[in-house]
Amino acid sequence: MEAKRRAHPNAYKPWEPEDDQRLAERCAQGISLSELSKIFGRNEGAIASRLLKIQAQGPAVEEAWEYGG
């Protein structure tokens, strides 16, 4: 887990409601899955899963489905 946290500092940390709101807002602004991964310090799989769970809207959601949603 430490190795993953070096690459993605927030890996395995719980999502806070504020994080969900920021993620949905950034997604709606058209930010890509890879950029969201960098912004939130989580891997693309975690971002993809969360976008689908919170039913976000935006281009990254389509990427999330293609990623393996």
* Neighbouring C-beta atoms of residue 20, cutoff 10 Å: 15
More confident residue, 17 or 7: 17
pTM of the model: 0.90
pLDDT band at residue 69 using 50, 70 and 90 as cut-offs? low
pLDDT: which is higher, 7 or 46? 46
26: Cα separation from own chain's centroid: 10
